[in-house]
Amino acid sequence: MEKRGDERRGGLFFDEIVESMPVFAKELVAGGVAGGFAKTVVAPLERVKILFQTRRAEFQSIGLLGSFKKIAKTEGILGFYRGNGASVARIVPYAALHYMAYEQYRRWIILSYPGIGRGPVLDLVAGSFAGGTAVVGPSRLNVKGLSQAKQVYGGIFDCFSKIYREAGTRGLYRGVAPSLYGIFPYSGLKFYFYEEMKSHVPEEHKKDITVKLICGSTAGVLGQTFTYPLDVVRRQMQVQRLLASNSGELKGTMESLVMIVQKQGWKQLFSGLSINYLKVVPSVAIGFTVYDIMKSWLRVPPRDDTATEVITDRSNTQPSSIGS
């Protein structure tokens, strides 16, 4: 009886905390948990993907299954999660800001333009701006890429301090501009396809986890496929900048795109896409699914309900034009 009483008091305490949290805080928590969980689940796939890209001959010759067996044999289970702690520390604040910004932009658009429809275009615009916000926010400090350079760091805090001492705040944000270039269309399309897929699901199946995973997987595949050529062009332009002193003037986006097609063929625009699916598709599917589950657990009201409440509250606080 005493144990049941403690459990009941604990449940009531949790209920009070959840009820006292503002909606944006709940969305931050839900997004952070979703991002961290998805990153951890796909960590083994990401490890194999990196080995495929950096040590091609050694791992591509034995295939995907052989690569998993080799890592398990030589490094053990923990070998699949090497570097995952730093990745989770980076992705949790990024995902939290990403999902929360999407919800806030969506509400702001509905509030600013009450006549706008609740269709997929709304999700496309809100998702694009949310992606840009998450990239330039403090959660997206470019430690990951810098920590893989020639210098060896003693940990994530050592990495932060050394980069800050050497290059200041600008060093922490190095590479943000190219990231923005790719994240706007990808993030927008990802939310667009996910919400569009869910809108066609019968009401009785909307809470089905399998359905959410399928919608998320489809969104991941389509979003990645449509934006991957832009990512290839972006990488090509980054290489051009490194070689600019030797090659002369820099080429723009369209010039780089045309040059790749002319010299290497249109298939080069999708080179490496299949191996990218290995990480991106399950990550997007799990991320969206866990986010929706966390929102339900934290009792976040439906999007349109919160938007309607805000609009109603504003209209009620406006002074009446009719004299008393």
Q: List the structure tokens of 64.
A: 């995907």
- Is residue 286 scored above 70 in pLDDT? yes
Q: Give the model confidence (pLDDT) of 127-175 as tens digits.
A: 999 998 988 765 444 444 444 444 455 555 666 676 667 766 665 665 5
b/e per residue 35-50 (b: at least 16 CB within 10 A)? bbbbbbebbbbbbbbb
Rounded CA separation 76/91 (Å): 25
Is 312 contained in some domain? Answer: no
User: Does any domain span residue 8?
Assistant: no
- Residue 282: pLDDT band with limits 50, 70, 90: very high
Q: Which of 49-53, 54-58, 110-114 has the highest mean pLDDT?
A: 110-114
Q: What pLDDT is attached to residue 206?
A: 86
In a domain, 14, yes or no: no
Please state, in angstroms and rounded to a whole number, the distance separating the CA atoms of residues 95 and 309: 26
Compute the mean pLDDT over every residue in the chain, rounded to the nearest whole number. 77
**Packing angle between helix 273-297 and helix 43-54, nearest 10 degrees?**
160
Residue 320, in any domain of the structure: no
Q: Quick check: is 311 in a domain?
A: no
- Answer whether residue 316 is part of any domain: no
Note whether residue 110 is domain-resident.
Answer: yes
Tally of domains in the chain: 1
The whole-number pLDDT of residue 278 equals: 81
| Percent of all residues in the chain with a pLDDT value above 90, rounded to a whole number | 31
Note whether residue 314 is domain-resident.
no
Task: Tell me phi and psi for residue 283, to 5 degrees.
Answer: -65, -45
Q: Which whole-number Å values give the CA distances from 236 to 178, 260, 263, in the listed order?
A: 11, 9, 13
Q: What is the CATH number of the domain that holds 184?
A: 1.50.40.10
Contact yes or no for 96/28 (Cβ under 8 A): yes
**115: phi then psi, degrees, rounded to nearest 5:** -80, -5
What's the pTM value of the predicted model, to 2 decimals? 0.76
- Domain with 169 in it: 21-303
